[in-house]
Amino acid sequence: MHEMMMADSIAPEPQAPSTALVTIVGVAAGALVANLYYAQPLIASIGPELGIGLDVAGSVVSVTQIGYGIGLFFLVSLADIVESRRLVLISLGLTCLGLIGAATSSAAAPFFIASFIIGICSTGAQVLLPFIAQLIPEARRGRMVGNVMAGLLGGIMLARPVALFVSASFGWRAVFWLSAALMLVIGAALFAMMPKNRPVGGTTYPRIIGSMLGLLKSLPMLRRRAAYQALMFGAFNLFWTAAPLMLADRFGLGEQQIGLFALAGAGGALAAPVAGRLADRGHSRIATIAAMLLLALSFLGTIWALASAILAGLVLLAVLIDAAVQGNQVVSQRMIFSVSPEIRGRTNALYMTITFMGGAIGSFLGTLTYHGGGWTATAGTGALAGLVALLLFAVESRSR
């Protein structure tokens, strides 16, 4: 009888979600995040038609990115008090409206408003990640999170080439119409497949926001992992901001050829499930060190590949850079999703906000270093980011 009572008292492991649900969540995360990057290669087409001058053309992308940064902090944290399925479906619906607004804009102001809405609501991708993570048994969480993250990185990498190819055939507005239709299809699939997930915490939104700083102070693992990934995501954005400039200057590539280069670089997403499996087997430390070293060495390798004019080498190194960043992201998110369910939304919001800030700095440094010191300065900065992350990891591991 005692043994039966003990068995009954042991909480069963969560039932793993279906492959179909994991797949649609990965597609949804990638499609949502892709909305941040569609406008980037289309500025030359969007600007003149909407009366946006060359001096402020860069703000077309910046407004979306600012919206995303705000959404990471204020919307993703809502997952601790709002049912995840409802929050994701609302964010998809609002993203769809924003995309339709962008597609039908005839002036700069409505386009900027639509872009801001797209940025805020595309953070629904970061609600999906902790949602799917909590449905997965601990022993397989890294692998499944890696699969979803592969979809997310695929969306980031495919957004620019897809935007270029669609715009070349049907015009820039078709890119936003196509994405709006995709949001509707994904929303219908998630409505049918996504189980409801009641939040654990019974608190209020003001208290949620007010507790964020305290959470950051009380979770050293969150601070460490956010710092590592901020450095690595900064290097990622540094590379993909400066690489198109370098490819055009040194190899004479046009927009569509640069799009193909980015398409090839999306192969780095395949590293996500591998990193997840390593983490599941207790090799998070090895995977972290390998990712940081790979990032630094790959950036240094691009200097040699460019000096030797080996374009294929640059493609391979781009894949490795993406794989390094993606690998560390999967290991980090597997760890931060291990916190209590009632604070999981806020923890992910803090982690992604800090990571995104690092990415924004990397984008700024991409053009600054390339115009200031050529590709050698850019690659050296990217390698330094990897080495600083590795140094922090070594120091903090030793102190623990």
Q: What is the pLDDT of residues 191-225, one digit of tens each?
A: 999 998 777 666 788 988 999 989 999 999 999 99
pLDDT at 29 over 80: yes
Query: Which amino acid is residue 354, in one-letter code?
Result: I
For helices 284-307 and 220-251, the axis angle rounded to 10 degrees is 20
pLDDT at 5: 40
pLDDT at 339: 84
Is residue 116 classed as helix, strand or coil in its secondary structure?
A: helix
Q: Span 268-292, mean pLDDT? A: 83
pLDDT at 194: 92
Q: Please say whether the beta carbons of 121 and 187 come within 8 A.
A: no
Task: List where CATH 1.20.1250.20 sits in the chain.
Answer: 17-206, 211-400
pLDDT at 66: 87
Query: Which amino acid is residue 84, in one-letter code?
Result: S
Q: For the domain 17-206, what is the CATH code?
A: 1.20.1250.20
Is residue 81 classed as helix, strand or coil in its secondary structure?
A: coil
- The tally of CA atoms less than 13 A away on the side-chain side of residue 280 is 18
pLDDT at 6: 39
**Average pLDDT value over all residues in the chain:** 87
Range with lowest mean pLDDT among 19-33, 158-172, 190-204? 190-204
Measured over all CA atoms, what is the biggest interatomic distance in the chain, rounded to whole angstroms? 78
Report the top-level CATH class of 211-400: mainly alpha
